[in-house]
Structure formats: C-alpha cells, structure tokens
Amino acid sequence: MPLRTVDWVDGKLVLVDQTLLPHELVMLEPATVRDLVDAIRRLSVRGAPALGVAGAYGVALAARLHPPVSDPAGFDTAVKALRTARPTAVNLARMVDRVAAVASDDPSRALAEAHLVRDEELSASKAMGELGADLVQALCGDGPVRAMTICNTGGLASVERGTALGVIQTLHERGSLIEAIPLETRPLLQGSRLTTWELERMGAPHRLIVDSAASYLLAQGVADVVLIGADRVAANGDTANKIGSFGLALGAADAGVPFIVVAPESTVDPATPSGADIEIEDRGAAEVCAVGDRAIAPAGTAAINPAFDVTPVRLITALVTNRRVVRFDLGEALAPPGSENPLG
Ligand code: MRU
C-alpha cells in the first residue's frame, strides 16, 4: 500500500514526521490533542489537505479523551486549540468544525466522520490528478511537458498523491512528463526536502532550483506550465499558497507560461470574499535567520517571515479542483457565495 501521510491505524493517529525528511522516515503517534497541536505547529504534519485530515482525527481523539457531553469544557478547549493551530489553510478549521459538529459521548461518531474526511481527500487527489493532467495536455499540446512547482503538494501534503504534485505524478504515469522543476522553498525547504523525495520515490525526472532562479528560468523557456497547490482559495479566486507563489505567478505571466492552481473543494472558501481577507501566518524571525540549527545571520537580526502569500486571480490561468476546472483566463469565475454550494 502507498505511504499514507496521516491515517488511523489500530486505534491510533499515525503521522509521517515531515521535519525529519528526507533523512529519516519516522512515524509519529500523537496520543493527546496537545501532542497533535505541537506537531501541526512545528510542521511535522503540514499541507492544507493533510492538516484537514489531521484536525479531523484530532477531534476524534478529543472526543475520546474529553467526551463532549460529560466534559464539554475539556472538549471545547481541545477543539479550539486544534482549529487555531495554524490560521491560513482553511482545511484545518473547516474539518475540525465538521467533525466537532457530529461528536458525541460515543467516540465512534467523530471517528467515523474523520474517516470520511480522509477518504474524501484520497478520492479528491485522484480526481485532481486526472482533471489537472487533462488540462495541462489541453493547454500545452499532447507532447510531454516540463512542470515547475513550489513547496510540497504531494502525498505528504494530503493523504496520498496530493494536489499540484499529484497532477505531475499523473503526467509522469501517462508518460507525459519530461521533468519536474521544484523550487527549494525557503525558509523551511519543503521543495528540496520533501518534493524531491517524493519525485524520487515516484521515479519522475526532476531538477531542483533555488527560489530566486524561477522567474529567470521561466523567461528562458525551461518550463511549459507552473502548477501550485493552495492553502485557501477565496470566493473571487485569489489564492493563498506558500510564500513565493505570487512572485512565481508574476514570472509565469511575464513569460506567457500557464499558471495553474490545483486544490480540492475542501480548500475553496466561499466565506472568504477575496485574498485581502485571508489571514497570513507569520512564523517569526528564527526560521529566516537559520537553516536547521545553523545560524545564517548575525544573532539578533530582525526578519519578516510570512509563511504564505496571495496570488491575485488575474495571474491565475485556471483552478483545478476534484470536481471542476475554472478557466479564469477565459473569464470564468467561481460560483459566488450563496449560490450553488461548491462544497456540495
Ligand atoms: O507551510 P506548509 O508547508 O503547510 O505550506 C504548504 C503549502 O503552501 C502547500 O502548497 C499547500 O498547503 C497545498 S498542499 C496540497
């Protein structure tokens, strides 16, 4: 069976500890909500869909440890800690709320809902891979493509396969990938640590680049398409994703390269009108001033460290979800809030 980033095995929550990759593949088993919140904050589990699934199982854990009817205060505190552990990826709060809404003193209720969340993300990843690969081939011609991507959007960011990297995997399986070009993704290096590890495991050709090479290389014509994931897609299509995505979109627009966002419906947030309404996580100076344990700036250097940015919809060619392709470049729009419920 393929590696699952987050799962429930033999009555326990099991997570890949992504802070240790690519050196060691170690599984974590958070036994308390506090352990899970710490794992989320230090990015042992990360990526919007994986955060949603982890949060869902976190509520199942909370329902077992603090039954909501007999210990409502304990349950509410646990739910609040989970839903606020990281602010930008809408999946976390949304899936925590979804499972909390059905939790009762019978812990199997919350667990069954968390399993549904996991299974929905599994099938969403497969659907996005197919829809996204079809779109790339429609935009770039039927020949094999070179795909640039940022951060990590593979199985590690979901349960299996993932979003943008899942599309790259599907292209590779179709024999339609020349190479993937991942950005290293400073400061936490999700691209160089995690995406290259996943590309290696799937046997897909790839060459890593530093973040600051992306626009130049796009202008040189090294990529046919840029594929990114999302932490939250606002109702107007503005998209929050890993810091560097906005600059990548500007570079792609200048070079005339299609820029495609791949995200499940669970990441599309009709309640957030535009990118200006998305809370961007500030992760503090330490991550900028050091690589791992090694300082790369004089002690005490001040730094600015937004973990995400917002790419305006005008720079996005298309959004691929598990259920639809929205061609912003052709004037299509997401359904406005209050009309058809895109989460179905
Ligand atoms: O800070 P991270 O590593 O959680 O950021 C992850 C990203 O920005 C991903 O691109 C996004 O969550 C989509 S994952 C399929």
Taking the centre of ligand 1 as the mean of its atom positions, its distance from the CA of residue 47, in whole angstroms, is: 4
Taking the centre of ligand 1 as the mean of its atom positions, its distance from the CA of residue 240, in whole angstroms, is: 9
Mean pLDDT value across residues 104-124: 96
Mean pLDDT value across residues 293-298: 96
Per the annotation, the verdict on 231 as an active-site residue is yes
Give me the pLDDT at residue 332, please.
98
The set of protein residues with a Cβ atom below 6 angstroms from ligand 1 is 43, 46-49, 89, 151, 153, 157-158, 162-163, 190, 229-231, 241-242, 307
Which residues does 199 contact at the CB level (< 8 Å), separation at least 6?
Answer: 165, 168, 180, 182, 205, 206
Give me the pLDDT at residue 149, please.
99
- Residue closest via CA to ligand 1's atom 8 equals 242
Beta pairing partners, 241? 309
Pick from 241, 287, 311 the residue to mutate for probing ligand 1's pocket: most ligand atoms within 8 Å of its CB. Answer: 241
Give me the pLDDT at residue 199, please.
98
Taking the centre of ligand 1 as the mean of its atom positions, its distance from the CA of residue 235, in whole angstroms, is: 19
Angle ∠(115,120,100) on CA atoms, nearest 5: 50
Ligand 1 atom closest to residue 46's alpha carbon, by position in its atom list: 4
Ligand 1 atom closest to residue 47's alpha carbon, by position in its atom list: 12
Ligand 1 atom closest to residue 51's alpha carbon, by position in its atom list: 4
Strand ranges in the chain using DSSP code E only, listed in sequence order: 6-9, 12-16, 27-28, 145-149, 177-182, 225-228, 232-234, 239-242, 259-262, 268-269, 290-291, 294-295, 308-311, 318-320, 325-327
Q: How far apart are the first and last CA of the chain?
A: 29
pLDDT bin (cut points 50, 70, 90) of residue 339 is low
pLDDT bin (cut points 50, 70, 90) of residue 105 is confident
The per-residue pLDDT for range 246-275, each reduced to its tens digit, is: 999 999 999 999 999 999 999 999 999 999
Does residue 36 carry a pLDDT above 70? yes
Does residue 148 carry a pLDDT above 80? yes
Give me the pLDDT at residue 302, please.
98
pTM equals 0.96
Ligand 1 atom closest to residue 48's alpha carbon, by position in its atom list: 12
**Annotated catalytic residue within 224, 231, 238, 309:** 231
Q: Taking Cα atoms as reference points, which of 255, 230, 182 lies closest to residue 52?
A: 230
- Residue closest via CA to ligand 1's atom 6 equals 47
The per-residue pLDDT for range 213-243, each reduced to its tens digit, is: 999 999 999 999 999 999 999 999 999 999 9
Taking the centre of ligand 1 as the mean of its atom positions, its distance from the CA of residue 186, in whole angstroms, is: 13
| Contact of 275 with 234, CB cutoff 8 Å | yes
Ligand 1 atom closest to residue 263's alpha carbon, by position in its atom list: 15
Give me the pLDDT at residue 343, please.
43
Q: Taking Cα atoms as reference points, which of 98, 110, 97, 96 lies closest to residue 65?
A: 110
Give me the pLDDT at residue 344, please.
41
| Contact of 209 with 181, CB cutoff 8 Å | yes
Pick from 151, 184, 185, 305 the residue to mutate for probing ligand 1's pocket: most ligand atoms within 8 Å of its CB. Answer: 151
Does residue 342 carry a pLDDT above 70? no
What the block records as the tokens of 306 is: 């937004």
Does residue 337 carry a pLDDT above 70? no
Rounded-to-integer distance, Cα 239 and Cα 308, Å: 10
Which residues does 73 contact at the CB level (< 8 Å), separation at least 6?
Answer: none
Give me the pLDDT at residue 336, please.
59
Taking the centre of ligand 1 as the mean of its atom positions, its distance from the CA of residue 228, in whole angstroms, is: 9
Taking the centre of ligand 1 as the mean of its atom positions, its distance from the CA of residue 59, in whole angstroms, is: 21
